[in-house]
Amino acid sequence: MKTGVVRIRVIYADTDAMGIVYHTNYIRWFEIGRTELMREAGVVYDEMEKEGFFLPLTELACHYLYPARYDEIVLVETRVEYFRRASVKFAYEIWDEKREKLLVEGSTLHAFLNREGRIVRAPVAAAEVFKALQGGQPVVGG
């Protein structure tokens, strides 16, 4: 299965008073991983939106296993768990830089909507990409 990997250094603003990453930042990192995976595969949010297709978040799961801390490097691994005609589910793993500890795992589910907010089938080009991402050859990795 194709996996995208993004390397992120924890900045001070991402942490709480104890120097531990504040929980909502992991969800922001999910978004970074998702948009970069899509971009690498040729699906750019901005272009989809210009064509009248939107991908709002409809469901989120996040399981915190270990904390990340200030100035550490984390790796955000993202893959397409499944693609359906009108939705796509992404799975995420956030690792320490050496991949010794899985820090966080989670998923997000997104529906395809048109400008009127109605659920629609994914645009053809995006559908082809998501189908390839869920089943196929690893082309992006890190």
State the catalytic residues: 16
Question: d(Cα 122, Cα 55) in Å, to the nearest integer?
Answer: 9
For residue 137, give both structure tokens. 């050859």
Question: d(Cα 126, Cα 18) in Å, to the nearest integer?
Answer: 42
Question: d(Cα 20, Cα 68) in Å, to the nearest integer?
Answer: 6
| Residue 131, C-beta contacts closer than 8 angstroms, at least 6 positions apart | 83
Residue 100, φ and ψ in degrees, nearest 5: -90, -30
